[in-house]
Structure 1
Amino acid sequence: MASSENASDHYRLPTEVRPRHYDLTIRTDLEKEKFTGFVKIDLEIVKATKIVTFNAATELSLGPATLVLASSGTHLTPAETKFDASTERASLTFAEELPAGTKATLRLGFESQLTDSMTGYYKSTWDKGIYALTQFEPTDARRALPCWDEPLLKATFSVTLVSRKGTVSLSNMPALSDAPVSDVHTEALFEGVSDGSWNATRFETTPPMSTYLLALANGEFVHLESSYKSPLSGKVRPLRIYATPDVIGQAQYALDIKEKALPLYEQAFDIEYPLPKLDTLVANDFDAGAMENWGLITGRTTAYLVDPENADIAAKKRIAGTQSHEVAHMWFGNITTMKWWDNLYLNEGFATLACSMGEKIILDKIHPEWKVDADFINNHLTAALRLDAKLSSHPIEVAVPDAGQIGQIFDSLSYSKAASVLRMLSKYVGEEKFLKGVSLYLKKHLYSNTVSRNLWEGIGEATGLDVPRIMDNWVSKMGFPVLTVTETPSGIKVRQDRFLEGGPAKPEDNETIWLVPLLSTIDPLAIMELEAPGQALVNNDALLETREGEFALDTSKPFKVNADTNGVYRVLYTPTRLAAIASEAAKSDSIFSLSDRIGLVHDSFALGKAGYLQLSAALNLVHELRAEKEFLVWDSIDANLAGIIYTWWEREQVQEQLKVFRRALCSPLVETLGIEYSKDDSADTTQLRTLAVAGAAAAGDPATIRVLLDRFTRYIAGDTSAIPADLLNVTFSTAVKHNGAPAYDAVLKLFENSKTPSIKVAAIRGLTGSIDPALQTRTFDMILSSVRNQDLIYFFRGFCTNTEALYALREFFEANYSSVINKRLETTFSMKYIVQSVYSGFGKEEDRVKAEAFFKDKDTRKYNQALAQALDGISAKAAFIERSTSDIVTWLEKWGKAPRSSL
């Protein structure tokens, strides 16, 4: 694995010069949609050199540069200035060599337009005009100022923002004053300040930090305010959330989560939040979900806004998870930062884990009713294993010497698989020792940069274990194992092989031997057997270190490998044993936990899809669990069943039979739970009702559809209470699908006029759910003409779930790829997700061939991994359909003839 020290010199800045401090002044002119700036960068000459090289993007117009030597005050002008557009680097060559140990200040002016690129320093629109904000991760600070734009090159920042009167300027630190700083080189930036036309706001100096965490914003913002008291020092810090006046009323919940999360993180890591304040800014136009800028978190409206009078649980979960995730970054990423992007998971994996795992971490303390540790399996572990089951996967720790490739690794592997592997380690060593090790790691590397071994050293110190030996292959190798369990006279034999979605791995793809923790001395990781009725006994010594291992176990009693689904692997049993486990799991007093049952469902379907067992075995498991009460188990069941229906979308008879089965599962739940929501309902009841209604409607249940259409009619007539927030998505999509143009027009108005993110997203779901080609064309035309760049991904994802639109979606994408879509999104994260959305639904080899032909002459460097994963998915789906169609049909026919109480 290439580390930061060994990455390609072609893409990395030379190491002869390091920045130590930036004094940055930027004047933002929202009326002219441009910004002008001047920066003074204090430098240390580490090695003698004549050349000073830094990052600057092509759209940043640079003025003349001057280098001022600290020792003499001599002003040096470069003899030559070069710019390399491919690496976004500028090089200043001086006539005299700069000796090692020299201190100097680079002084440089610059300017650029505020565009709608959602990268660098850019503009966002709202009802009364525009405002400006930054998105610098991973390599876009260079679009806003000349800088050393690599995470290792930390420096302090003093920021002054000049802006028109009546606007608010924000940055990482609190404001010091509203007066200009005297400097002959920046006088022009302060023109008009003295007569009151402009404001100049200077901010406190930041701690040492990477450029991607620098944040700037200017606009007509208003805010809500709170505070928290540090449990470690007793200090009280202000907390604010900023937005435009039209939506600030929906921001209170996000502020409340931040207030609750900060002291919990301080206690968990035993390190006080180091900045004087923590703000959040809500943006109308934002590419990523949210961004952890130190002291000024930013994010899109769906990440932070919810209607306080009609809030759905899904939106609250999304907001709480996002806010907790970004707050975790104040420690993981901001205080301690990876040396290079190959260790991105040290930031993102920990932030994902920290707000999701166990009883020791944050969201479980704020919302215990959400059962976040079990929910982690549905939201993160499953997503990680789905992607990592492809040959086109990549290791968690992945070489990315080319900065242009960095955006591709912001995926389920760097986030969800990394979090899952760390969760497995936490369960294996014990959460308290794990957190102690994390605290040691953070304290040892405050304000510095790290690699994997630094983390393993901290956890090893806390546990006394050889953590690198345990973890190396989990982070340095792609893939994960499937554990095949066979029974012996004395117990079980377990064999590990790499799991692939297309079936058993070939020898050349099956070389990795993982050190697989099968259990934990603190929380059970794997082998669980029955000690007495209703009691589970955990074997605390099982660890699979070789290809195969044998373990003593009384197989006459119920047992299960990977208890609580804490391991990052699939488990394959014989059909007989799986049936026995399913029977035990279905009992109301089963020894198998909520997390056990979720894991059983996901494993069975994944193994069925890949051909390790017949898919009918997974359907049998679902049939056994039909009396299940827990929402999260039903969530796993319905998601997998919907995926199977989606796979067979071009086999109408099979799809209809599967829908009958889905109706038989969901419709009784609707009858039992009803469609009326109450504030007295538990979180489980509310979410299960929503899932049941959506599943029944998607499966064509007439009674459910009638109720939803009636509610839609009343809602459009003005009775907004007719549709609870939790049913907006399914109601809008059902209405457009069944009532055509009149419903489409009504939903379009909601999309255009609503200020509530949940309504806008539900409206997109409705617009993209139409089965009418003419209405699909209207939506495609709207995408080209009036949809915000940040919302394109919602439209493409909506269409990709509509099997009646998949061919039209592909045709639309390919026809407009070069002229519109790629141009609008070429600098963003979104392009890779759109490529996956367009092609992931297909399941014939001819579809793969067509996709390969389309992209043959395209520059796919920024999304080639996503494209390869989508193409692999097509092949796997084609093999799945060929392999399992007969098995599914046979099982469904047998199920259809059998009494509903048996099979």
Structure 2
Amino acid sequence: MSSDAQVDYRLPTDVKPTHYDLVIRTDLKQSKFDGVVKVHLDVLKETSRIVFNVNELKLDTVYLYPDATLSSPLAPSLTDFDKTMERSTLHFDAPLVAGSKAQLQIAFEGELTDSMMAYYKSAGGEDQSDIYALTQFEPTAARRAFPCWDEPLLKATYAVTLISRADTVSLSNMSVASESAYEPESADKTDGAVSWLTERLSKLAVDETSGSDKWKITRFETSPPMSTYLVAWANGKFAYLESSYVSPLSGKTRPLRIYAAHDLIHQAQFALDIKRKVLPLYEKVFDIEYPLPKLDTLVAHDYDSGAMENWGLIIGCTSALLLDPNSTKLESKKDVAATQAHEVAHMWFGDITTMAWWDNLYLNEGEISPEWKLHSAFISESLSWAMDLDAKLSSHPIEVECPDAEMVNQIFDDLSYSKAASVLRMLSNYVGEERFLKGVSIYLKKHLFANSVTKDLWEGIGAATGIDISKMMDNWVKTVGYPVVKVTETREGVHIRQDRFLETGPAKPEDNETLWTIPLALLTTKANGETVLQSDIVLDEREKTIPLDVTRPFKLNAGTVGFYRVLYTPERLLKIAKEAVKTPSPFSVEDRMGLVYDAMVLSKAGYSEVSSALALVDILRDEPEHLVWTSIQSNLALLRSVWYDYPDVRASLAQFSQELYGPIVRQLGYEYTDDEPSATRELRTLAISAAATAGEPSVVKELTGRFAHYMKTGDDSRIPADLQRAIYTISVREGGRAEWEAVKGIAKKPKNPSAGTDAMVGMGYSLDLAQETFDFMLTEARAQDMMPFIGGMANNPAMRRFLAEAFKDNFATIDKRLEGNYTMQTLVTYAFESLTTDKDYDDTVAFFKEKDTSRYDLALKQTLDNIASRSAWIKRSTTDVQQWFETRKSNRKL
């Protein structure tokens, strides 16, 4: 893109902010806020105009103090506002001199809405009367809370002052410097910002019902340089838990707190404990001390994304940060730990060093666990998601041009997060974890409190490894897609060839120009069974031959660390599978997971047959590891969804699943104990859920019986936390209005966040009451809870056409309610992506044709690609699937 084009969406660089004095007054009773910001500017070029970002704020007094003198302020001669670009331009009669300094002071006011973006309000308590306010600025919403230069490159320091009612708690990025009663008549007149608010405070200072209001002023320490999207504050009647940690690098003790409304705080201890444990680990990994004086976390009832890494003040939703100590659901425990650890990692990798623009977003999302040893669950939770998206023609590179704020919002998808993490994981495996971490530390230290681009990270890792990392990695981050490596056996060994992988089948020449540098990670076995890993072999050309004894077991992409698919012949795939089930197996858990995902995805794209993938699963039926079963279950669920409208295939898949999961249920039973391994708990949960979904009679009877006991007695002791989603969904599916009403009651007043989410999902399993579920979501549920409601219906293939039509019928309401949020693009995906016919595709295109899809255009294109690929898969593979089940059935009779 030319520099001229960049000027169109990037702010002019004639002035640069260096410091913000920001005063915000919050009136929770009237759902309003106002404030004044003084921005210290360096004048880099002579200019008579100042351009900054602002949106949905009413600007009041505007003064410019040239040469940073406060004696002769200038008022703008003309003020322009561009709503599309979300920026204001101030014109002055006299130009600012290059090399000088200036101060811009702007008074403003805004509304506290329930938009879950910018500075907004939420509510807790028994009757939702406990109103509080908080911020969510990522990626471009700071401009809706105060006038600013809202680009990550333009870092500045911040001195935040909050004026609020005396019975509330005020939070921000930094520690409190001072807090005192606020008396308008005796306010500090030398502070122009506070003085300006003082003149107007009398409008709000009297509460007619109680006689008077008392206010306070809270001043926070000045922050290090940071980007606008990391600025944060909150105000409300919060409770807190506290702890601390000792820095292993300096010996300093830092306070740690987690804040929440009073009705939530008892579930916040676990997240606080995780924060205390991971902070010293990150200090050791990065060899950089956490730079702020404290680290708080705030739990919010209403929050658009899972959590946000505001420097010094992490904010997240209830389901991401709360854990009921009396009802420990393992999945929830893992999610909370992962969320808190992830956001703490951002305090370095993203907050200290920040990408210069959003096309380098993934530098924030190198999602690495506290020990930087990625769990094999990464394959199912991140790698497979990213590869599914990146297999579409509508995909985008990790580094993507962001011409406007709408595009910035849209690149917060599974590619930006999960592909970025996946390619860093691949690189770490290739160069070695120790050298990789050393390189990251070099990178961070070189760019402390500054901005960075991709090559900066590559240079850091290159310095630690002596490898030209840019040459190896550029195509992984700058081009769309990823390769499939085809393996052909010869007398000499294996001939391998790389081509771009697409879910629609082999790429056309114009879509197949990229050559990736692929770490092949070749695993071979000796005659005595010993395995040998060759991690230094790369494929950086179209094809090559590798000498190899093909009579011995082998596998490419050992550990499934590479971001590519491997296509074997059906015969070789079955040989690998038979070796994989041996005890001991030469192939790891990660290897076996990768085999399942590759086989199914390659069959979906027409590179192989579905029957080959089903045969692989059949061989793995005695697999002991729950993570391999996770990959099997997700792929069988995909088949069930795609062929749901084919009763014979649906029945065959149900019978197959009952045969796979029934024995596991009988072996593990339904009871959970505190001292059993977590893998056993997870396998039990997965097997019971999958068997019940497949209609296994004994499992369905057990689960519905447990819920019937709860309905009769109110006693939920027979509903283990790990099984509550399965019990809710199956009871609603098999029952009637009584079961649905009971689950709705849980959704309305859950004992903890996970129970509420599971109940919302469960309500979507009654086709007879689908409209009532949808209406309940629209009229009674929080905006953030639309995702589990619609996600639940989308997970139920019987509901998918109702969901698509209901979404269309209520589109205007949903679109308005979620205006500006991340959630809308996710809901569009959920509502339509599981459709399967050409007519579905045409109807969806027609519906959105006249809509403004700028906020979710990428998601819509990906969704349409998904419908098309499902339709093509059905046409191509239905006979193959039917014949495989028929042959298997006949063979079992013999």
TM-score by length of 1: 0.95
User: 1:49, 1:539 → 2: CA distance?
Assistant: 60
- 1:381 and 1:78, CA in 2 relative to 1: closer, same or farther beyond 3 A? same
Counterpart of 2:493 in structure 1: which amino acid? G
Tell me, what secondary structure is at the counterpart of 1:400?
Answer: coil
Residue 412 of structure 1 deviates from its aligned partner by 1.0
Counterpart position of 1:523: none
Give the conservation status (yes or no) of the 8 Å contact 1:534–1:590: no
Give the conservation status (yes or no) of the 8 Å contact 2:52–2:88: yes
Matched, 1:70 2:67: yes
Matched, 1:553 2:555: no
Give the conservation status (yes or no) of the 8 Å contact 2:23–2:193: no
Counterpart position of 1:522: none
Counterpart position of 1:355: 369
Give the conservation status (yes or no) of the 8 Å contact 2:134–2:234: yes
Matched, 1:177 2:168: no
Matches within 5 A, 1:465-476: 465-476=467-478
Q: Deviations over 1:478-501 (max 9, x none)?
A: 100000001111111110011111
Matched, 1:564 2:559: yes
Counterpart position of 2:747: 751
Counterpart position of 2:801: 807
Matched, 1:95 2:93: yes
**Among candidates 485, 496, 499, match of residue 498 of structure 2:** 496
CA RMSD of aligned residues (A): 1.5
User: 2:733, 2:535 → 1: CA distance?
Assistant: 54
User: 2:528, 2:785 → 1: CA distance?
Assistant: 53
Tell me, what secondary structure is at the counterpart of 2:377?
Answer: helix
Matched, 1:159 2:176: no
Residue 69 of structure 1 deviates from its aligned partner by 2.3
Give the conservation status (yes or no) of the 8 Å contact 2:245–2:276: yes
Q: Deviations over 1:590-621 (max 9, x none)?
A: 11111111111111111111111111111111
Matched, 1:824 2:810: no
Give the conservation status (yes or no) of the 8 Å contact 2:130–2:237: no
User: 1:570, 1:285 → 2: CA distance?
Assistant: 39
Counterpart position of 1:45: 43
Residue 7 of structure 1 deviates from its aligned partner by 5.8
Residue 534 of structure 1 deviates from its aligned partner by 3.5
Matched, 1:35 2:29: no
Give the conservation status (yes or no) of the 8 Å contact 1:33–1:113: yes
Counterpart position of 1:544: 539
Give the conservation status (yes or no) of the 8 Å contact 1:48–1:98: yes
Give the conservation status (yes or no) of the 8 Å contact 2:38–2:193: no
Give the conservation status (yes or no) of the 8 Å contact 1:486–1:492: yes
Q: Deviations over 1:503-555 (max 9, x none)?
A: 1111111111101111xxxxxxx211102433101224421110001111111
Matched, 1:587 2:588: no
Q: Deviations over 1:708-758 (max 9, x none)?
A: 011112223222211110001000011111111000111111111124101
Give the conservation status (yes or no) of the 8 Å contact 1:694–1:730: yes
Give the conservation status (yes or no) of the 8 Å contact 2:672–2:720: yes
- 1:814 and 1:229, CA in 2 relative to 1: closer, same or farther beyond 3 A? same
User: 1:464, 1:267 → 2: CA distance?
Assistant: 23
Give the conservation status (yes or no) of the 8 Å contact 1:8–1:402: no
Give the conservation status (yes or no) of the 8 Å contact 1:152–1:449: yes
Counterpart position of 2:392: 390
Counterpart position of 1:727: 723
Give the conservation status (yes or no) of the 8 Å contact 1:55–1:146: yes
Tell me, what secondary structure is at the counterpart of 2:526?
Answer: strand
Matched, 1:308 2:302: no
Counterpart of 2:744 in structure 1: which amino acid? L
**Among candidates 600, 609, 614, match of residue 604 of structure 2:** 609
Counterpart of 1:734 in structure 2: which amino acid? I
- 1:184 and 1:22, CA in 2 relative to 1: closer, same or farther beyond 3 A? closer
Matches within 5 A, 1:879-894: 879-894=872-887
Matches within 5 A, 1:437-456: 437-456=439-458
User: 2:442, 2:613 → 1: CA distance?
Assistant: 44
User: 1:540, 1:712 → 2: CA distance?
Assistant: 52
Counterpart position of 1:115: 113
User: 1:540, 1:814 → 2: CA distance?
Assistant: 51
Counterpart position of 1:521: none
Matched, 1:863 2:856: yes
Tell me, what secondary structure is at the counterpart of 1:449?
Answer: strand
Counterpart position of 1:256: 273
Give the conservation status (yes or no) of the 8 Å contact 1:534–1:589: no
TM-score by length of 2: 0.96
Tell me, what secondary structure is at the counterpart of 1:590?
Answer: coil
Q: Deviations over 1:540-592 (max 9, x none)?
A: 44211100011111111000011111111000011111110010001121111
Counterpart position of 2:772: 778
Counterpart position of 1:895: 888
Counterpart of 1:740 in structure 2: which amino acid? G
Give the conservation status (yes or no) of the 8 Å contact 1:254–1:320: yes
Counterpart position of 1:693: 688
Matched, 1:421 2:423: yes
Residue 230 of structure 1 deviates from its aligned partner by 0.7
User: 1:52, 1:854 → 2: CA distance?
Assistant: 42
Residue 184 of structure 1 deviates from its aligned partner by 4.3
Matched, 1:627 2:622: yes
User: 1:109, 1:481 → 2: CA distance?
Assistant: 54
Tell me, what secondary structure is at the counterpart of 1:625?
Answer: helix
Residue 196 of structure 1 deviates from its aligned partner by 7.1
Counterpart of 2:803 in structure 1: which amino acid? L
**Gapped runs of 5+ residues in structure 1?**
365-371, 519-525
**Gapped runs of 5+ residues in structure 2?**
183-187, 207-211
Q: Deviations over 1:625-659 (max 9, x none)?
A: 11110010011111111111111011111111111
Tell me, what secondary structure is at the counterpart of 2:249?
Answer: coil
Counterpart position of 1:376: 378
Give the conservation status (yes or no) of the 8 Å contact 1:728–1:762: yes
- Pick which of 750-759 and 625-634 moved more: 750-759
Give the conservation status (yes or no) of the 8 Å contact 1:247–1:755: no
Counterpart of 1:320 in structure 2: which amino acid? A
Give the conservation status (yes or no) of the 8 Å contact 1:54–1:90: yes
User: 1:755, 1:297 → 2: CA distance?
Assistant: 24
Tell me, what secondary structure is at the counterpart of 1:410?
Answer: coil
Residue 779 of structure 1 deviates from its aligned partner by 1.1
- 1:424 and 1:185, CA in 2 relative to 1: closer, same or farther beyond 3 A? closer
- 1:185 and 1:516, CA in 2 relative to 1: closer, same or farther beyond 3 A? closer
Give the conservation status (yes or no) of the 8 Å contact 2:829–2:859: yes
- 1:540 and 1:802, CA in 2 relative to 1: closer, same or farther beyond 3 A? closer
Counterpart position of 2:642: 647
User: 1:71, 1:13 → 2: CA distance?
Assistant: 22
Tell me, what secondary structure is at the counterpart of 1:374?
Answer: coil
Matched, 1:187 2:180: no
User: 2:528, 2:703 → 1: CA distance?
Assistant: 45
Matches within 5 A, 1:221-300: 221-300=238-317
User: 1:6, 1:292 → 2: CA distance?
Assistant: 33
User: 2:406, 2:60 → 1: CA distance?
Assistant: 26
Q: Give me the identity figure in percent.
A: 53
**Among candidates 785, 788, 794, match of residue 794 of structure 1:** 788
Counterpart of 1:584 in structure 2: which amino acid? E
User: 2:497, 2:491 → 1: CA distance?
Assistant: 17
Matched, 1:410 2:412: yes
User: 1:713, 1:7 → 2: CA distance?
Assistant: 64
Counterpart of 2:462 in structure 1: which amino acid? G
**Among candidates 591, 595, 607, match of residue 596 of structure 1:** 591
- 1:185 and 1:499, CA in 2 relative to 1: closer, same or farther beyond 3 A? closer
- 1:532 and 1:256, CA in 2 relative to 1: closer, same or farther beyond 3 A? farther
Counterpart position of 1:319: 336
User: 1:804, 1:546 → 2: CA distance?
Assistant: 46
